[in-house]
Amino acid sequence: MSRIDFYHLKKKSLEEVLPVLLQKAYTSGKRVMLKTNSETVETLNTLLWTYNDESFLPHASKKDGFTEEQPIFITDDDINLNSADFLFLVNGSECNCALASSFERVFNIFDGNSSLALEQARRLWKSFKDSNFEVNYWQQNDSGKWEQKA
């Protein structure tokens, strides 16, 4: 059964946190599918090219081609075209239990300052918990570090 991790952003933005989490996933040797809404696919593609002058995360979206070869593939679709092990959900994107079960881990990163994002995260949590997934909840503390909550 897949592990589902909820990351509750409170102090830092998605743009600050996402490259760090993706870097950890990439260095672990796992392939990543980054699912976002259609409006932000290319924004995130650009972010991963420019977030750090001293670091590089190999990634692409559909428009870049070579989808199957990408260690990190950014999409608004539910199809795992790069045979990813990890699924990252951002910007309100969702997945159902069937899709989640095809990944080792699912990372749902949501904005804790948005009532809509909180509501969506609670709904997803309940759905995954009711389906007997292992679910974990992480929240940023006052300094922006992750703390696991019960």
- Which pLDDT tens digit goes with each residue over 77-131? 999 999 999 999 999 999 999 999 999 999 999 999 999 999 999 999 999 999 9
Predicted TM-score (pTM) of the model is 0.95
Domains of the chain, with CATH numbers?
A: 3-149 (3.40.50.10110)
**Crossing angle (nearest 10°) for helices 41-50 and 14-27:** 70
Q: Provide the pLDDT for residue 1.
A: 76
Query: 9-43: per-residue pLDDT in tens?
Result: 999 999 999 999 999 999 999 999 999 999 999 99
- Bridge partner list, 7: 109, 138
The answer, yes or no, to whether residue 147 has pLDDT greater than 90, is: yes
Q: Is 44 left (phi over 0), alpha (psi -120 to 50) or beta?
A: alpha
Distance from C-alpha of 40 to C-alpha of 48, rounded to nearest angstrom: 12
